[in-house]
Structure 1
Amino acid sequence: MIQLVIAALLIFVLIFGIGFILNMLLKTTWLPIYGYLVLLAVLLYMNWDKQGSILQSAASYTYVDYIPAVGGLVGAIMSGWTIGTLRSKGYKMF
């Protein structure tokens, strides 16, 4: 269980950092969220068993697979929120 929490926290920090840097360089706010969702959709499609539906394939994952993915999604959301807050307070990044 501790490994699951650490994995979720590490993915949160990784996606937050990458999203923050992308937000500064590309001057977008929510691009990392869309990119992360597309990445998850591609990974789900690549692991899709063609015999069943995509919902059956998604149901085959356990909470151990979903918790780090949710941690990454929260990191992407927080990076967009952080950049939006900094920009609204007048900070200019690049």
Structure 2
Amino acid sequence: MTAELLQLPILLVLFFVLLFGIGFILNMLLKTTWLTIYLYIFVMLPLVFYRLYDTDMSFWGNLKSYQIADYLTALGGLAGAYFSGSAIKTLREKGYKMF
């Protein structure tokens, strides 16, 4: 029980930083602002759900089979993707031409 409580905050920070970094670089290179959050919501989450989908269970049964740690990890990644877009937007508004 103690190991899981220690691993969850580390996992959340890891996914946040991972998606923030990837999103920041993609947004900077492709000159977009919200590309990462769109990719995360419309590509990554459905791919993970499809990969782990159990055909013996219903749609709602599959959603109920995930634990709270799975949902928190997804939210941590979503927050990282969102904040990468808002960081790029803020840098552009401040006048940084590179971003």
Q: Shorter chain as normaliser: what TM range?
A: over 0.9
Match of 1:63?
68
- Out of 72, 78, 81, the position equivalent to 2:83 is 78
Q: Between the two proteins, what is the percent identity of the paired residues?
A: 56
Task: Report how far residue 49 of structure 1 moved.
Answer: 1.3
How many pairs are equivalent? 94
Question: What is the 5 A alignment of 1:27-46?
Answer: 27-37=31-41, 38-46=43-51
- Out of 24, 28, 31, the position equivalent to 2:28 is 24
SS of alignment partner, residue 93 of structure 1? coil
Confirm or deny that 1:49 pairs with 2:88: no
CA-based RMSD of the aligned residues comes to 1.2
**How does the TM-score come out when normalised to structure 1?**
0.93
In structure 2, the gaps of 5 or more residues are none
**How does the TM-score come out when normalised to structure 2?**
0.88
Task: Give the distance between the partners of 2:17 and 2:6, measured in 1 at CA.
Answer: 17
